[in-house]
Structure 1
């Protein structure tokens, strides 16, 4: 093994050896998405939720320049507590490895690494996408182009509502990324159940999603991801009026403080947390736990219908 090869946590190595289902998890939610001490507590809850639903969690991150698929608890804690953890998209991985950096992987990087490791299902909160005013700033998340070339199922609550949801859906269509609602034909808006747009396809069970994986692999026509949009129940969403007021004030602050690029999303999420007195944080946690449970059930369904985890590379 070279200095820069992907390393697998012991629990993931055992799952690979035994042919058990595995779910990929990102690490930016640990280092950049949630405040301490919630980040460490929720990271552990996410992993336990995956286990409770029959799969093995593989939280992905970088420790000392080494990509790890299946961080152990001490490594998760390190990323939760360290102050200098880099936020890594796909383009950053080799540079960060050369610098022997600690890093947390975004949706784009987690998807790419998971696919390289043969893991076919990934749970996250919400995708990145096309930012508001992108016609001027050209600000668009690398999540979108990464998903266009990555054969993985991403279970999410749509795209973050701080983005241009309609433009993001248009870009996903242009890039050939499959999109389906889970038991709905309305695309969710992360904190809110209905993001205001229809989707063309609906999948109603983990078994149907597993059929999608098998159909894609057998057809060998498309290499892109499936964005499976799993909305919160309406009684669990953030109050839509509170959401809209908070978003409006946050966008105004962005403009006033000239905040751009990678700083936009963490700034707005922090603004939501403070302005909603923690209600958005509670909603965010419900989202990722629900998505993790569904992703685990999908991984189980996909594995039970094949000789092993779908697309899983040999150890």
Structure 2
């Protein structure tokens, strides 16, 4: 069985781009369905697709609709995922959920892990998201570790993000990525970013400056036969960041409410992100949108840089 042909349906624009070797950038759908309120979510999705196009690449938003993994969505499908088109029944789908969502003919918004898996099946090398999942605080007791880390260890997709979500244990997440042999690059900074903030208190595992340097590292990883993903952490723009000192108290308050409200498992991250928006009077949402825009610009540039040069056969 050919999983690309049989399990994944490519949108017409994406299929054409892949067939002729044009750069394509994958985009997740959980950020649309579960990461932001309507209508900010659908406006952000459309804008990010536009930014990828402006950067010279083809956007491929990924989701499961009526049980079919879709790589490249139309405007009406984005609206459905956002909740404005009858999409209230959209499930949050990680890798383990994909078989169930497919078999039952359901709608599923793909997490970072699931988006990586489907992007890889489609032959897409670059994926843009907001922030990575990772090791949750208190994981020594809860064993709550995101499937994003497992997928990064096994799937050769380059993930452009704003670092690890600030609600997580960033130090343990970086240690896990190191253990799993996942290259972690930070663009333009010697410090690893923390989603809302440019500062996390942890040094950049490896610094790069610009898309060409990112592409050179990715190309070297592939030449070695590494089958892991590559993390490219792109700090939130200075003008849009929330300093770590300011967001830390907000996160601690939101985390403290989890136990009181009995929130566990896959409901934790959506609750925390929504609650942080409330506690910051919308400032965290504005920062989230700004960092996704910035990541889309870098991701498009990386995808373009990875396209082989016609004369030499090497990435530009």
TM-score for both structures, normalised by structure 2: 0.94
Structure with greater contact order relative to length (CA < 8 Å, sep ≥ 6): 1
Counterpart of 1:248 (choices 249, 252, 269) is 252
User: Shift in Å at residue 194 of structure 1?
Assistant: 0.8
Instruction: Give unmatched runs, 5+ long, in structure 2.
Output: none
User: Shift in Å at residue 77 of structure 1?
Assistant: 1.1
Counterpart of 1:103 (choices 93, 104, 108) is 108
Match of 1:91 in 2: 96
Aligned pair 1:156/2:158, yes or no? no
User: Shift in Å at residue 73 of structure 1?
Assistant: 1.2
Residue correspondence of structure 1 range 1-315 to structure 2 within 5 A: 5-81=7-83, 82-220=87-225, 222-305=226-309
Deviates more, 1:301-310 or 1:268-277: 301-310
Distance 1:282 1:73, change over 3 A: same
Measure the CA separation in 2 of the matches of 1:14 and 1:123.
20
User: Shift in Å at residue 304 of structure 1?
Assistant: 4.5
Contact kept? 1:130, 1:141, Cα under 8 Å: yes
Contact kept? 1:4, 1:66, Cα under 8 Å: no
Question: What are the Cα deviations for residues 53-93 of structure 1, in whole angstroms up to 9, with x where unaligned?
Answer: 11000000011000011011111111112111011111111
Contact kept? 2:237, 2:290, Cα under 8 Å: no
Distance 1:185 1:111, change over 3 A: same
User: Shift in Å at residue 310 of structure 1?
Assistant: 9.6
Q: Is the partner of 1:202 in helix, strand or coil? A: strand
TM-score for both structures, normalised by structure 1: 0.94
Contact kept? 2:308, 2:314, Cα under 8 Å: no
Q: Is the partner of 2:198 in helix, strand or coil? A: strand
Number of aligned pairs? 310
User: Shift in Å at residue 4 of structure 1?
Assistant: 5.7
Measure the CA separation in 2 of the matches of 1:308 and 1:37.
46
Instruction: Give unmatched runs, 5+ long, in structure 1.
Output: none
